[in-house]
Structure 1
Amino acid sequence: MKFISLGEIMGRLSTIDYEKILHSKRFDMNFGGAEANVSVTMANLGVEKSAFISALPDNDLGNSVIRYLKCNNVVTDHIVKTEGRLGLYFVETGFSQRNSTVIYDRKDSAIAKADPEIFNFEEIFKDYTWFHISGITPAVSDNALRLTKKAMEAAKKSGLKISLDLNYREKLWDFQKARDILSELAEYADMCIGIEPLNLPGADGTDIKNGLSRNNPSLEEMDRVFHEMEKKFGIKIIARTARKSISSNRNALKGFLYINGKTIETDWEEFDILDRVGGGDSFAAGLIYAVNHFEDPEQIIEFALSCSILKHTIRGDAGTFTHNEVEKYLKEGMDIKR
């Protein structure tokens, strides 16, 4: 497959040795952003081609981002240099019962200010088969929203498969605005990761997701929601994870997958955490990769969940494991419930 994504990549400044941001005098520098993380993970898994579309400032920070992407075999030909700055975010890693904290500093970033007309998506998409975007990008700015719509329309017209990771972030936009916009964008998607904040009204007008357990939904509940999502938006492949938090350093995950009109789930997998950031992006990458390489639904969801779990053991935003490393982990086995 030939994969490409669109989004913002930021500088990540992380405290060292679990220090609080308030007390820290040193930060570890890295780069990350939802779609960029997926492109990096896809490249490391070994797809034929993995690329990233974005806008960066024309300075050494922008050059450093491109160098990072190239070091991970991500094609950067479709990144443009524009006015604006490199967005930043600060990570305070939690420990034991203290949760992690993230502070964003991304106003007026290059991608937020970029004119959508500088991207010729019809030309770009000629070389690719799969396009990925998240619900974060349209939340960044009005320009980024127009850019998202233009890209999804062009990808659909060019015959690419489209995956949408809903990835709602309450720090970026209002829930109702996110619901309206992402429900519109979902019409373009062939695959969807997550279920919120899509609008799924039942017969009485209330959302059918109301009352759904966030951390431990049943297979029957998820099957009902997934069927409704396919009925309303035409999405054929839907997946999500559920998470149990034992502490900031130890969690458990399970995965749900809807494909071919049926829903399956994995058993819970418990693991220790080195770095939680990007776990959902590695799940998305693993899902896209597996759908394009395997036919067995059980193998698909097991592979995707394994990618997410392995990412939690790696510092930084992206999953830098290989296909063989995921397969090695999978030999330990996961139980699938139908």
Structure 2
Amino acid sequence: MVLAAIGLDERQEAAYRALVALGAADVADLAHRLGLPEADTERVLRRLESRGLAAGSSARAGRWVAAPPEVALGALLTRQRDELERAEEAATRLAEEYRAEAAETAVPDLVEVVTGAAAVERRRDQLLLGAREEVCALVARGPLAVPARGVACRVVVEREVLSRPGGAAALAAALGGEVRLRVADRVPARLLVADRAVGMVPLTGPGAEPVALVARASGLLETLTALFEAVWRDALPLRLGQGGEAAEDAPAGPDTTDLEVLSLLLAGLTDASVAKQLDLGLRTVQRRVKGLMELAGVTTRLQLGWYAHERGWVTRV
């Protein structure tokens, strides 16, 4: 429904479109076109009339005409924009009041316990949607949620996530190109921190009813942030391709697939696991690794890892 944004339901939009196409129509004809009883059609027309989109004909009883779209819809859109601007101003004022109140919040109010799967998911989404500068996350299992584009995001995933079938492809699809990603053998806990102002950590394990702790500006939040930074510092960078398309690099350097292979190997995956994640043959992976070693002029994979970091092929950003 294109016109739902200005408050029309499916029946009202269909009726208005029919009137615009016909110019004018009797209730009976319009009811036949819409497949509605005449009484329902009459109510729909009255609703359109209240919005200035239709009017009864002065020349013939029971006949309705459409208001010109450029006039009627233009007025509704202007009204909608005005309402949205007022709502945005109100939201800004409320946010300012909230921040001012948070600065003087009593200690018990700095911690919130959220119970139930739906409530935890809703609270997590609120944190992500409300982020304005950066989101930091530790991911051990389950779906990966990231904020909308335009917000910086750093994520550390547990290596087990990559070991699942299609794990690398799923991460690449979920993250896009704006997220800085690292991998660790284990992450101590699932964790989400938004703008260093609020953090969320689960209190229950798999199988139990989800319960999460939400911490605002406090010593607890500082501890959660420090935990993330410690895990991030020790984790290995991970490079994931987007859509499987290999961009061309300089002739003397590795291509995109080479770098994906190298990144996954440095993350601790075996040749066979890398082949499965990138949908390549095992021999193809081994051939690419051999080519990288020849390009780097080294004889061991350990030397290749050092060379890759020195040359910036894989960086700890």
Q: Which has the higher helix share?
A: 2
TM-score relative to the length of structure 2: 0.23
- Larger Rg: 1 or 2? 2
What is the TM-score normalised by the length of structure 1?
0.22
Higher strand share: 1
Structure of higher RCO (CA pairs closer than 8 Å, 6+ residues apart): 1
